Amino acid sequence: MNITGLLFLFCFLPFSLVIYYIADKKAKEYVLLAISLCFYSLCSLRYLVLFILTMIVNIVIGRSISLADRNYLKRLLLIIGIAINAGILINYKYTNFIIGTFHSLSGENIPLYDTLLPMGISFFTFKAISYIADIYCGRAKLSANPVHDALYLSIFTQIQSGPLSRYNDLVFPGEYTGVRNARFALFSDGVFRFLIGFNKKILIADILSKITTEVFTTPVENYSMVYAWFGSICYSLQLFFDFAGYSDMAIGLSEMFGYKCNENFNFPYMTESVSKFWRRWHISLSEWFRDYVYIPLGGSRNKNRLLVYRNLFVVWLLTGIWHGASWNFVFWGMGYFVMICFERITKYPEKFKHKISKILYRVFSLIFINCQWIMFRSDSFVDGCRFIKKLFVMDNIGISIADYRAWFLFKDNLVFILAAVLLSFPVVKAIGKKLEGHPLLSGMYEVLINVIVLALFICALTFVVAEKNNPFTYANF
């Protein structure tokens, strides 16, 4: 069941909200847990038992760590917990990758593992590891009721593709507000945020996906430089609005049920450098690797600089592997490792004194990120390299058929492409801030934005009814 689908929008979500809000305060967590398990069963019934058993095992291990009075016992339970979660992830996500790599090296023909990925397995695994790690380190303030732990691990608003919240972030609504108006304000903010994410996904990401699907399925030898740049930029925009749209919807859904959720994107294409890009893109994943891999390895505190770069290497190797079980994802992660090391060594762009230098480096960073998304989207490392080559090497002089096709696609989708570029920057937010000193204009602007968002939502629904919406890209991870 897709959260942009009609079944979810007009059946599952309204019914869930009604039974949740009519339930007694003490029963709300139980109701939301039941809703979450129901959602999982509708999306991935085949793995429901595995999901529940894994959740129970993690809760038992986490609670056992909190009760253990010996450090060696706590450490043993932590290692067991991480091994179980990592083992499940490796088994379902990386077995075929390992078999394929072994086959390539040895030549032995080993049958591949025929299975489907459990829904949200990468995100569930990372949340489970953070849960037991935070208990081990004393960062998690455990609730008296283990149901709260189960809800944290399974809450349906975050189970598909995050954000990767922490245990302490999931605060029971009654614990942070008892004011009715405050609860209503959070609910209405959640609805608005959900609609924004829905519009991003359906009206921008899914429209751009038609362009990028055509480009990436066209043989590379038929590309022109213009066609390659056009397709790659559209994919960079598509991926952002697809995942940022999902994150907005997930945050909105969480707020509808009274739970606050941390931001996952902060206009990443406004970045000044490659390093800062990852402080704006998929923020919860970057923070997860920082807190549970980079810092435990020693982070930047090591006096030996080589150890710092070793830590960065491990983080970006794991980041690449986490995103996908193929070598192009490994090289994708290594590309970021090289660039971040380069920026650490050179101190760019902070070292630049002139504004023009900073602007040029910002352009360079965006070009690098765009090339990285090509590698991310390509079926193999070789295909990615061939595509990137087309960006910078002109094979033929003059206008080709591919140039005409790029121009046709651009004209045919002009409104959506311009909207994507414009909304990649905080234009709406900036105008609202400018009007803050004028209450009347500010109020009118807010009403106008709400009307536009609602009108666009109705328009987006027609696309869903016509079955022109696509699955979320990050659902594959």
**Residues taking part in catalysis:** 323
Whole-angstrom distance, CA of residue 466 vs CA of residue 454: 19
Q: Check: CB of residue 293 under 8 Å from CB of residue 314.
A: yes
Helix (DSSP H) and strand (DSSP E) numbers for the chain:
22, 0
Write down the residue that tokens 């749209």 correspond to.
Answer: 245
Report the distance separating Cα 102 and Cα 431, nearest Å: 56
Distance CA 371, CA 367 (A): 6
**DSSP calls for 8-64:** IIIIIHHHHHHHHHHS-GGGHHHHHHHHHHHHHHHHHGGGHHHHHHHHHHHHHHHHH
Give the pair of three-digit tokens for residue 144: 């008296």
Burial class (CB in 10 A: 0-12, 13-18, 19+), 392: exposed
Q: Are 207 and 413 in contact (CB under 8 A)?
A: yes
Question: What whole-number distance in Å separates Cα of residue 385 and Cα of residue 223?
Answer: 13
**70: exposed, middle or buried (Cβ count in 10 Å: 0-12, 13-18, 19+):** exposed
**Read out DSSP for 349-398?**
TTT--SHHHHHHHHHHHHHHHHHHHHHHHSSSHHHHHHHHHHHH---SSS
